[in-house]
Amino acid sequence: MSETAPHASEPTSASHRPQPAVIAREARPDGWWKKAVVYQIYPRSFADSDGDGVGDLRGIIGRLDYLKELGVDVVWLSPVYRSPQDDNGYDISDYQDVDPLFGTLADMDDLIAGLHERGMKIMMDLVVNHTSDEHPWFRESRDALSPRGDWYIWRPVREGFEAGEPGAEPTNWRSAFSGPAWQYDQHRGEYYLHLFSVKQPDLNWENPEVRRAVYDMMRWWVDRGVDGFRMDVINFISKRYPLTDGATAPGETLSSDVRGFVDGPRMDEFFQEMHRAVMEGENLITVGEMPGVTLEKAASYTDEANHEIAMVFQFEHVGLDSSPGEGKWALKPLEWRDLKENFARWENGLEGRGWNSLYWNNHDQPRIVSRWGDDSTEYRVASAKTLGTVLHLLKGTPYVYQGEEIGMTNAHFTSIHQYQDIEVRNYYRDAMAHGADEKSLLASFAAKSRDNARTPMQWDDGENAGFSTGTPWLEVNPNHRQINAEQALADPDSVFHHYRRLIELRHSEPVVQEGVFALLAPEDPQVFAYTRTLGDRRLLVVANMSSRPAEIPADVPEVEGRVLLTTHPDAGGRTLAAWESRVVELG
């Protein structure tokens, strides 16, 4: 695709915007993020300060001491930019302002300052594969002759078809949120590409002016005190031109084939250009969300010699409980052997040449204690602790999603009317129109819906879990009477304090930060065991990933040593209680 001629872009900070407060930027030494733990906040569900039922920046500011006590180093903030909220803020209409739903730029300055004062850093969500269709850039782009006519991906009606009829789209690509990935625009007389919602048109990264505007915006936030960026579906920005039809499943007209836009030919070029324009000399934390990324690509993107990004979010492990080729809603039981093999492949594959991110939960994934643990009254605490242990002792940068540290569970919704997520609502509408079984759909949603992660943070056992004095935007989980931060802080044996100790281990033990990973007993279906080795220091992590006792297999020959952390302090020997885990220094 041809690039447009350069032209003058808008100033990166309009005169009406307040200038950033004077903020003492935290020191960011080389590789500091390799020793860090990141805490993700989903702002609309974290803490509501004004009683409108939606979390906000002042609510987050009021909980900073909680995060300090947990011990995390970085707070990753899901989008708070101006947005019509079609996809809960991932449809941005102004990158350089805060949506009134969450507060003001002055509130953002206070949050940045409050984090820095407590020795923590902040990572913003960077959503630049697409914008909102209400962004001024897109409104101008609807006029093909405007200076921004080529800032989005426009194509004419397919030859031989009439605009708007099925098959008239320029390609047969399917949107991630159901239906065709193209929308016809009457004003321009062409289709625009939207890999997600119809209100999220894809930016044209082939245009150098688009890239320049993005880098200007990123620098504006860094100057404001931001310490890094989580980059939303960033490996979609380089499409493969010319855009062509993808392969389809039997009986399907739309294609879920992602080869036309995942890890395209200019990704390295774009990352290196971004690094020069924004990251060079700043030592920012950067993580690219990359659906479909391969291990080899991830190693290349995160190889420090290539000057691209620090780490990636890959999705292989969170796809292991979906039937192959049938999508996330086709559930199948997790085999622990498969997960162990996947973790080992990524740990070994990135050793010495790239860097890994470690996560169970985020705003797009169900709660791990309900998904792969046991959220029953008997085993919820032990399984939440053990899942935390096996993840946090791996090599990489761990991510904690709000509520994970107190063992929050899935919402267990039973009606479609309880869901707010656009992905679920669109899928339900289309599936029911094609005769799907509602009971099966609701079972899949209860297990895997993104709303499981988005129910309000459970602060106490009072009304609305201490989240809001108003009516929450999404139902509060009724189990907040038993599961909440207030109780967790008061109980020295809680999930919270176990996570706090895991974070302390990463801060204090170089072998946790840099030790080489080796998987033990790969074929055992119940016990997860591995070592981390650095010089003459060797740690053993051994965990029973089930709700019944287990024997440590013979191919874990050595189990005795100094216990650094355990879920069952009185246990020992080669028998593990249900959901028991130990971290042992051998020798």
DSSP 3-state of 332: coil
- Cα–Cα distance between 307 and 268 in angstroms, integer? 9
Query: C-alpha 197: how far from its chain's center?
Result: 18
Instruction: Report how far apart, in Å, the C-alpha atoms of 274 and of each of 234, 240, 306, 309, 539 are.
Output: 12, 20, 12, 9, 38
Query: How many other CB atoms sit within 10 Å of the CB of residue 241?
Result: 14
Pairing mode, if any, of strands 74-77 and 38-41?
Answer: parallel
Residue 232 catalytic? yes
Per the residue annotation, which of 216, 289, 405, 524 is the catalytic one? 289
- Cα–Cα distance between 97 and 316 in angstroms, integer? 34
- Cα–Cα distance between 291 and 294 in angstroms, integer? 9
Query: What is the secondary structure of 494-509 as a DSSP string?
Result: SHHHHHHHHHHHHHH-
Query: What is the secondary structure of 344-371 as a DSSP string?
Result: HHHHHHHTTT--BEE-S--TTS--HHHH
Helix axes 438-448, 422-433, angle to 10 degrees: 160
Query: How many other CB atoms sit within 10 Å of the CB of residue 275?
Result: 18
- Cα–Cα distance between 504 and 501 in angstroms, integer? 5
State the DSSP code for 151.
S
The sheet carrying 190-193 orders its strands as: 154-155, 190-193, 182-185
Reading the block at residue 529, the tokens are 């065991």
Torsion, CA 315, CA 204, CA 268, CA 26, rounded to 10:
-80
HSE of 243, CA atoms in CB hemisphere, 13 A: 24
Per the residue annotation, which of 26, 87, 109, 232 is the catalytic one? 232
DSSP 3-state of 179: coil
Contact by Cβ (8 Å): 552, 529: yes
- Cα–Cα distance between 176 and 207 in angstroms, integer? 24
- Cα–Cα distance between 17 and 421 in angstroms, integer? 32
Active site residues per annotation: 232, 289
